[in-house]
């Protein structure tokens, strides 16, 4: 009996340690990629070179400052841990504009589509109908904030269930089928990396699941075929840097992030390659960072970058909150 109790205790301790490492790898990866990209957001490719975490630049912020990508991800963590409804999550998005969950108590950046969704909510629209539905509403503002869903869902092996949850949270700000397909691809890939499946194998194994799910909804299948199918072809990862576009358009963003992963061999190399692509550097850095964190794990994220993150205590607090929720 004592041996059994000890085994159960050791098993619980290992699971908690594993969850803690997993949470930190994704959230620190996200915040680091975000902070590396903030000073050079909107800059043209090859007009600068980021080799380490620096400050000022575009928003005149100190080194280590993260933006709405990380703040809205922290808001999602709070919402998930509180088991609150979508109205309360939208309230957190509203509060973000006043400085909630920010590095220094003020908001210096927010995406156009996300801001418009917040305005619709404040005008009385239900959260489920706040996201823009036109083709022009396909920025990366949902993609950048939904990585916590992968952490929460990684132990659920129902692909369809996970996809429906991802769809629900994407629609809050971005309701066009293209953005929804991108979010499903991103979070499901992130889950695969958390389960220690490498990119090449994941692309091969997951393709039938994605295609079976998207075929059930013609609007999703159309978007997948026209914009995302090449992600599953090895030739995509042989493309030159000049062939990769790094705008805030959700298709460009997801492709750029996966290309950075598929053409590098460690966390540092991946995120630096991402932020040096130019244009939407913070979000492409943040998403690449979350994916690379999941692949290479916490021990491979440079400690010097973790130490430089602004308001690290807030990041730690939210990571711990999610750990306590998941380890019930």
| Dihedral angle, C-alpha 142, 143, 149, 154, nearest 10 ° | 160
| Tokens 């205590």 belong to residue | 313
61 backbone dihedrals φ, ψ, rounded to 5°: -110, 150
Q: Is 85 annotated as a binding residue?
A: no
How wide is the angle at C-alpha 138 spanned by C-alphas 295 and 184, nearest 5°?
A: 40
Distance CA 116, CA 120 (A): 6
What angle in degrees, to the nearest 10, is found between the helix axes of 250-262 and 199-215? Answer: 150
Distance CA 298, CA 110 (A): 28
Q: Is 69 annotated as a binding residue?
A: yes
Per DSSP, 168 falls in state: H
What is the greatest pairwise CA distance in the chain? 66
Q: Is 280 annotated as a binding residue?
A: yes
137 backbone dihedrals φ, ψ, rounded to 5°: -95, 40
For the chain, the C-alpha Rg in angstroms (whole number) is 19
221 backbone dihedrals φ, ψ, rounded to 5°: -60, -40
Q: Is 282 annotated as a binding residue?
A: yes
Q: Is 283 annotated as a binding residue?
A: yes
Q: Is 235 annotated as a binding residue?
A: no
Are 67 and 107 in contact, with CB atoms under 8 Å apart? no
Distance CA 37, CA 276 (A): 8
Nearest to 154 by CA among 166, 145, 142, 143: 166
**DSSP-derived 3-state class of residue 157:** coil
Q: Which segments are annotated as binding site for Mg(2+)? A: 67-69, 280, 282-283
Q: Which segments are annotated as binding site? A: 67-69, 280, 282-283
């Amino acid at each position: 009996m004592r041996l059994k109790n000890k085994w159960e205790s050791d098993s619980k301790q290992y699971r908690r340690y594993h969850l803690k490492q997993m949470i930190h790898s994704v959230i620190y990866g996200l915040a680091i990629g975000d902070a590396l990209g903030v000073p050079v957001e909107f800059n043209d490719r090859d007009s600068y070179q980021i080799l380490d975490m620096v400050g000022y630049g575009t928003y005149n912020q100190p080194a280590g400052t993260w933006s709405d990508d990380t703040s809205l991800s922290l808001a999602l963590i709070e919402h998930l841990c509180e088991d609150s409804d979508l109205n309360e999550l939208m309230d957190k998005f509203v509060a973000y504009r006043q400085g909630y969950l920010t590095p220094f108590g003020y908001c210096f950046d927010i995406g156009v589509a996300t801001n418009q969704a917040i305005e619709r909510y404040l005008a009385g629209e239900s959260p489920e109908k706040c996201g823009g539905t036109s083709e022009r509403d396909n920025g990366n503002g949902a993609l950048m904030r939904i990585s916590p869903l992968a952490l929460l869902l990684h132990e659920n092996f129902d692909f369809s269930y996970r996809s429906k949850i991802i769809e629900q949270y994407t629609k809050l700000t971005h309701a066009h089928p293209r953005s929804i397909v991108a979010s499903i691809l991103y979070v499901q890939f992130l889950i695969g990396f958390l389960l220690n499946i490498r990119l090449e194998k994941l692309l091969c194994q997951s393709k039938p699941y994605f295609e079976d799910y998207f075929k059930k909804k013609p609007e999703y299948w159309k978007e997948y075929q026209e914009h995302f199918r090449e992600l599953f072809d090895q030739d995509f990862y042989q493309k030159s840097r000049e062939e990769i576009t790094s705008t805030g358009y959700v298709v460009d963003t997801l492709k750029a992030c996966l290309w950075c992963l598929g053409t590098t061999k460690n966390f540092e190399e991946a995120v630096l390659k991402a932020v040096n692509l130019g244009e939407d550097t913070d979000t492409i850095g943040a998403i690449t960072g979350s994916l690379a964190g999941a692949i290479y794990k916490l021990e491979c994220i440079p400690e010097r970058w973790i130490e430089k993150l602004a308001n690290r205590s807030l990041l730690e607090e939210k990571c711990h909150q999610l750990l306590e929720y998941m380890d019930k």
